[in-house]
Structure 1
């Protein structure tokens, strides 16, 4: 089995390699190709990847290349984990929106739109080249904003499934609090990428008993602290929102915070420099502890599980993924991309039925989906007016003066990545 990772020079990659090595019985890889235009980073990451495989006795070959077409040729699955513009672009996404009093974040709000505009054309070009080289390959998208990028891929006819680590992270956290194995925990995880709620936590499978009330009663303070939301918010909702909902539920508070501390991009850039120095140490043969602070926890387990199921090599029958709605949420179009538990096999992902949604959640999902419609149109067709419309539609913007100012700043800071600008 051959897998290719586009963005293989990412500092995330050793997390992925560690998972491939540990879970080789689930996903028996014979060849893994790491593809990245940054040759210096690729050499460092590739060297550590080979040492991790060797230490754990994995027989697979690891190849590094900057040649996308050669790297994806013959691949059974291609994982996308790229960041167009690197951490420098992320730094911009997290700062200029604050000038207009809006959240500066790389996957939601104005910064998230900027990332989508930079990313969608690049990903579609990569996917088309994969299709020309190997039309049967599955594309697993971990590139943010996952919902918009996955929808672009699906609408272009690619065999694609979107993946995020939020659900698996919460599953692992809840399992530890409940003192059970992660495999026993099934989440009623419903929404859009980075806009989800856990409506239930079930033990033993999708039809198991819901222990969410018990979880909130006994561990609500711990969960609230992790989400950085007041405990009473969880008690009043009776569900667990993803930590991205804090941008919506405490917008003004977050904006004030972001204006008084270094950006997350600056923190990550410093961390990446330290990680790359570590990766260059020929004695290092395991992922360093610092990598856990970089983000992407449990990404490797989720990626292995998804790839194994898509390639007919086992894997969990039900996984939380990003895929077409197809009637699952009746208030959305069939071609909206949602993030829910789905049955995954060699034919793709089919969403499972989900609980009926309270209007409190359904309304926000519908609102953000409308924004995503406009964001994808702007990413595919360009133009200042399309950017403005998407920003005006976003619930974290929503005022014409803000949308106008943010549009100008977005174009100014991303001109080199926008073919139409």
Structure 2
């Protein structure tokens, strides 16, 4: 039997990779990663080399026998892997800038995972992820695929419906950030907080909140209503919540709910940033450049604290925690994106949902959450319909399904505007959308 674990990270040249490496180093005694393969494409080679050298310095400093391997050959890396993580960005940040700026130029919210921007990120990404899934079915059929690539919910949906591999889990840092925000507010360790998560990716609610197993939902909701909760993620502006609304909602919303519950204010804020050339994608591009300058320093052998300014801070910790729990059959509870299988009543069993799950060696077992409260059900069902249509449009290259998907999305004001955005974005991204040719 081979000793240790082989993990492959596709999109290994990402600025997030040092956090992933740190997570594996921290857990090495429980999770003996023998080989960590970082894979990227030709245009990402320079970043891959920079991040890879930093990863090697981090491992050397830790004094553990983990081998870091860098390659542009995905198939070479995948052979006999135990776990594969995906953190890729098709079209790089320049495509994200278009996803944000084109809708905003028409006075519509432009965002990486919601509305028109999220749809086009899905269109570019789904064929690539299904291609990875196909390679895995041949080269490492028993490996777990853990996807962090956004829009994670739609990508998990595509993999569950059209992929070959049944061992698929979507992962997001937002529920982790929600737990952390509650722990900070109550001034306790994060490990003492658990939540009943119910909903979809970037559309998830904390239905009940517990401290050491005791329900504290009402107390937490009162504190949120009083404005006592800090920011949950860096990439969504925290505009505060109307106290009466939060009390009426009775569940903890996630940061992305602001795009639906505070649509006008969020749009106004985005348009201000747009006019200054400061969309989130443009800010991230500058942050990334600064991070890679830091990573090049041959004396740097830790994850730099500046990485936490990126929107996905702590995701890698979530990924390492998840892999560790599967490998060690921990049976702990974590929020992940999985096949519904009745966890949320009223959503198709085959659909991807984001819920609390028991994590075992056989993967996540979703916990039955019952029905969505009536006040959340309509919005969640609308977004699930949007996601289903987006996935079908991405796979079939269907203009008609793309148009209907965008029209029913709550962030798009009319079918006329949906057509304008669809046509402009199809042209802007044509190099990455062969299925629509």
Q: Write the mapping of 1:16-415 to structure 2, written as runs, cut at 5 A.
A: 16-37=20-41, 38-155=44-161, 156-158=163-165, 159-204=167-212, 208-218=213-223, 220-223=226-229, 227-232=238-243, 233-261=245-273, 262-311=278-327, 313-315=328-330, 317-354=332-369, 356-397=371-412, 399-415=414-430
Q: Over aligned residues, Cα RMSD in angstroms?
A: 1.5
Structure 1 residues 171 and 26: alpha-carbon distance in aligned structure 2, compared to 1, 3 A threshold: farther
Distance apart, 1:353 and its partner CA: 1.6
CA distance in 2, matches of 1:49, 1:22: 13
SS in 1 for 2:345: coil
SS in 1 for 2:33: coil
CA distance in 2, matches of 1:152, 1:356: 24
The answer on whether the counterparts of 1:190 and 1:197 sit within 8 Å (CA) in structure 2 is: yes
Distance apart, 1:293 and its partner CA: 0.3
Structure 1 residues 362 and 224: alpha-carbon distance in aligned structure 2, compared to 1, 3 A threshold: farther
CA distance in 2, matches of 1:131, 1:236: 47
SS in 2 for 1:221: coil
Structure 1 residues 19 and 316: alpha-carbon distance in aligned structure 2, compared to 1, 3 A threshold: farther
Distance apart, 1:355 and its partner CA: 5.0
The answer on whether the counterparts of 1:138 and 1:310 sit within 8 Å (CA) in structure 2 is: no
Runs of 4+ residues over 3 Å off in structure 1: 224-227
The answer on whether the counterparts of 1:305 and 1:315 sit within 8 Å (CA) in structure 2 is: no
Q: Which runs of 5+ in 2 are unaligned?
A: 233-237
CA distance in 1, matches of 2:140, 2:51: 26
The answer on whether the counterparts of 1:26 and 1:305 sit within 8 Å (CA) in structure 2 is: no
The answer on whether the counterparts of 2:227 and 2:240 sit within 8 Å (CA) in structure 1 is: no
CA distance in 2, matches of 1:415, 1:218: 47
Distance apart, 1:225 and its partner CA: 6.2
The answer on whether the counterparts of 1:141 and 1:150 sit within 8 Å (CA) in structure 2 is: yes
SS in 2 for 1:113: helix
The answer on whether the counterparts of 1:194 and 1:244 sit within 8 Å (CA) in structure 2 is: yes
Q: Which runs of 5+ in 1 are unaligned?
A: none
The farther-off stretch of 90-99 and 314-323 is 314-323
